[in-house]
Structure 1
Amino acid sequence: MKLLSPRLHGYVDYAIVVLLALAPLALRFGPVPTAVSYVTALTHLVVTLLSDQPLGAARKIPFPVHGALESSLGVGLIASPWLFGFSAEGPARIFSVVAGLALVLVVLTTRYAAGVLSRPEPYDRYDR
């Protein structure tokens, strides 16, 4: 069931970026999970800003491609504690897995074709 519209998805994207950026400070991650969280936050911010969605800035990446990239970020976050060797750090491991699962859940519940099929041109600033 696709619950999230492109606009609501944009709000969730920016909230996830803030969460990824603040978690290392709030949960006192070590250097490796901190770097993973910051790089993921920055990557997600750039992808969101470049996506063709109502809250995107440049609208260069088609919204379905945005979903595929976001899915990859989610899977990468889930695997990162074992890929980068911080699986022994409980809070960092749990946060990475939960944040990755949240990203995948957002991808699975978004209507990526909502705007694509109904409009031939990209969104403008006022979502017309």
Structure 2
Amino acid sequence: MRFISTRAHGAIDYLMGVLLIIMPYILGFADGTSAQWIPQIIGAALIGASLLTDYEFGAVRMIPMPVHLFLDVGAGLLLVVSPWLFGFADRVFWPHLILGILEIGAGLTTRTTPETAAGTGADRTLR
């Protein structure tokens, strides 16, 4: 069931991207290891993909929304398995697991088409 609007998903994307980038510093695992870099790289990639997605918060609008949602699910899966895949689960895994599950959930429950057509009406005046 897809109940999250693309507008709400856009806000979630940018917030999640920033959270993933700053999370290692806030939670004390900014130690230069993969535990730090995996969420930061995924966070930067989420922001980059959001800027390129064809939805209300996209700047360039090149990536179709279904592709964006597929990327979100993939990023969430990588976050979920990264503590075990990269060998840092003995130090930290909860933030990766929780945010990964949330990212998967957002990808699976967001509508695939924006409520306003790209570049038309009120949507265009917001740029």
TM-score, structure 2 as length reference = 0.88
Name the count of aligned residue pairs: 122
2: CA distance between counterparts of 1:37 and 1:86?
A: 13
Aligned to 1:10: 10
1:108 Cα deviation after fit:
1.8
Cα deviation, residue 107, structure 1: 1.2
Q: Which runs of 5+ in 1 are unaligned?
A: none
Shift in alpha-carbon separation, 1:125–1:55, aligned structure 2, 3 A: farther
Deviation of 1:3 after TM superposition, in Å, equals 1.9
Contact 1:52 1:123 in 2 (8 A): no
Q: TM-score, normalised by structure 1?
A: 0.87
Q: Are 1:97 and 2:103 counterparts?
A: no
User: Aligned equivalents of 1:123 and 1:10: distance in 2?
Assistant: 16
Residue in structure 1 matched with residue 41 of structure 2 by the alignment:
39
Q: Aligned to 1:127, what secondary structure does the other structure show? A: helix
Give secondary structure in 1 for the equivalent of 2:93: helix
Q: CA deviation at 1:12?
A: 0.6
Deviations 1:9-28 (A, max 9, x none): 10010110111011100111
Shift of 1:123: 3.8
**What's the Cα RMSD here?**
1.8
Q: Percent same amino acid among aligned pairs?
A: 34
Q: 1:53 to 1:93 in 2, by over 3 A?
A: same
CA 55–125 in structure 1, closer or farther in 2 if over 3 Å, else same: farther
Using the TM superposition, give the Cα deviation of residue 109 of structure 1 relative to its aligned residue in structure 2, in angstroms. Answer: 1.6
Return the letter of the residue paired with 2:11. Answer: Y
8 A contact 2:56–2:114 mirrored in 1:
no
Name which of structure 1's ranges 54-63 and 1-10 shifts more when overlaid on structure 2. 1-10
- The C-alpha deviation readout for 1:103-126, integer Å capped at 9, x for no partner, is 0111122111354xx84xx34594
- Whether contact under 8 Å (2:7, 2:114) holds in the other structure is no
Deviation string, structure 1 residues 20-59 (Cα, Å, up to 9, x no partner): 0111001111322111111111111111111001001110
Runs (4+) off by over 2 Å: 122-126
